[in-house]
Amino acid sequence: MAVAPERPRIYEGTRIPSPTPSVLEVREDLRNSEDVLTVNFGPNHPSTHGVLRLVVDLHGEEVVGLAAVVGYLHTGFEKNMEQKSWWKAITYAPRIDYLSYQNNELVFVLAVEKLLAIEVPSRATWMRMLLAELNRIHSHLVWLGTAALELGAISMFWYCFRERDRILDLFELVAGFRMHTRYFQVGGLAEDVPPGFWDECAKFVEVMPKAIDDYEALVDRSEIWLERTQGIGLLSADDAIALGQSGPVLRGSGVDWDLRRAQPYLAYDQVDFRVPVYDEGDVYARYRVRMEEMRESVKIVDQAMRRMPGGPWIADDRKVVLPPREELHTSMESLIHHFKIVTEGFRVPEGEVYVTVESPRGELGCYVVSDGGPKPWRVKFRAPSFVALEATATCMSNALIADMIAIVGSLDTVMGEVDR
Amino acid sequence: MQVEEGHGETTVVVDTPRLVDAALHLRDELGFNFLSDVAATDYLGWGAKGVSGYIGTRGGRDLNEPATQGHQRLPQQKPSRFSVCYHLLGMKAGAPRVRLQAWIDDGEHVPSLVGVWPTADWHEREAFDLMGIRFDGHPNQRRILMDDDWEGHPLRKDYPIGGEPVRFSGEE
């Protein structure tokens, strides 16, 4: 193996373009030059992870100007959720980010529970954590497969989707759906975990670390991969914080920050895991962070599986939670509760809350306003992908057109979440 | 300036002219170095919806309203039509969070915080696009999610739901 060239050190000062932080403007001396070619990259391009449009000014191979244009996938989730009862609005949340659906579902349900001040049984809390971590692995696998595919490592895609399918099988076992599970209810889980799940989950925990070894063997010593990722798309720690970056992008820039540890929710303070941090701030660092996060997530799944508490899986609050199915045949009161919750929905006390979780893409926030009625007054998601795209202009200084693919890929954006 | 506590969260309400000063103070003196989100809310018709429940609302009783539940009590009145919330996070032990809130009426402007946190760029564009709130001093105040020539601001409460003509590319 040839000796890799030394990776460029992270820059001093700031590289955020001024005055508009998200637009890289063409330099003065090139502004009216005939050599500068403006190219529309997207909205339909195989490497834009959906429908991202980049307006790129090219000077030869060099990217001298860039502006990201989003909104092609705007479907009005937030407006739609205002028209539905709290109970029905949960269905919308997972569809916002179609790769980390359970985290989106979780953050909305946690926000509603915070307004209701309802206590969630520990079995539900641990199961939510287990599924959220499986979902993190799932999301990183799709990222790794597609990001490597864009840089020419085609076989990686098939390997990653092999394990991804195992995770989808697990979700299907639990919730009956492979994607957009809507398994989290306000107060707990929709159903208890089926007994067959634990054996399958144990098999997965055994297989996954070896699979990650496989992925690393595929690309970690590939000179093409190293050449195309190391020293590309630099983002310093200060710039990353100023640009609101979170998740693997932030940790790849040397900021040791993870909400699972800094602001523990669910049962993250009771499990043992490490937060990987890399200082280089390049595409390769973000890749390394995600690879190690997958290993840590497997550990959390393993611990959650072994220490899963028994008992009820949903809170016993008849004003919010649907009564057990069998009671509907014998109890008039249960039937009334069931009817009221399904037709009108439950009421949530007046107030506003902002709840955050660490999704695979970073800080996922949900701001919810209730007027005390059966529908949300306002739901606003803080989408980490949306914020990640703001950093494209900063990462792209001195980049070539081929690097752009690697950089946009490394930010791991899901356009459904960007446009909501 | 006014500090409110609710549901375990702290809200700092400031007058719009002092928003930038408050933001700089929170960032530099109190260590809230990370702007997490900018969320605008329209409170038009807050607590006034006509419902047919047994508990009264400002809108009175309407048996034809499909959602039949009224409010147990009327929600607290809001000072203006729109609120703009800046959710801040301090990246230090304990992960403190605070909500910086400004209240404005339709047509009033808010100073832009792009100079304080560059990440506010797209968040403020989104608030303008979907809620119609203008940010003074924003370097690139354009629509972000809707088309450039879109009329209206869809997340406002008086924006009609449904019945919008859909434009097809082949249509003249």
Q: What is the pLDDT of residues B41-83, one digit of tens each?
A: 998 888 776 444 444 455 555 555 555 555 556 778 888 899 9
- Would you tell me which residues 279-338 of chain A have a C-beta closer than 8 angstroms to some C-beta of chain B? none
Kindly give, in sequence order, each residue whose CB lies less than 8 Å from that of residue A355, ignoring residues fewer than 6 positions away: A107, A110, A111, A114, A365, A366, A368
User: Any chain B CB within 8 A of the CB of A365?
Assistant: yes
- Mark the ranges of chain A whose per-residue pLDDT is less than 50: 1-2
Chain B contacts in chain A segment 24-83 (CB below 8 A) = 70-71, 74, 76, 78-79, 83
Beta-bridged to residue B41, according to DSSP, are: B83
Q: Band the pLDDT of B167: cuts 50, 70, 90.
A: low
Of B9, B75, B119, the CB nearest to A372: B75
Full DSSP string of A16-34: --SSSTTEEPPPGGGTT-T
ipTM value, please give it. Answer: 0.87
Is pTM beyond 0.80? Reply is yes
In angstroms, rounded to a whole number, what is the distance separating the alpha carbons of residues A351 and A111?
A: 11
Per-residue pLDDT tens for A234-292? Answer: 888 888 999 999 999 999 998 999 999 898 898 899 999 999 999 888 899 999 999 99
- What average pLDDT score do residues B88-93 get? 89
Whether A16 contacts chain B with CB within 8 A: yes
B143 reaches A (C-beta below 8 A): yes
Between B170 and A33, the higher pLDDT residue: A33
pLDDT of residue B128: 92
B 59-118 residues inside an 8 A Cβ radius of A = 67-69, 71-73, 75-76, 85, 87, 89, 91, 93-95, 97, 99, 114, 117-118
Q: Which range, of B62-76, B89-103, B126-140, averages the lowest pLDDT?
A: B62-76
Q: Are A363 and A382 in contact (CB under 8 A)?
A: yes
* pLDDT at site B147: 86
Is the pLDDT at B138 greater than 50? The verdict is: yes
Q: Is A352 on the interface with B (CB under 8 A)?
A: yes
| Amino acid in position A384 | P
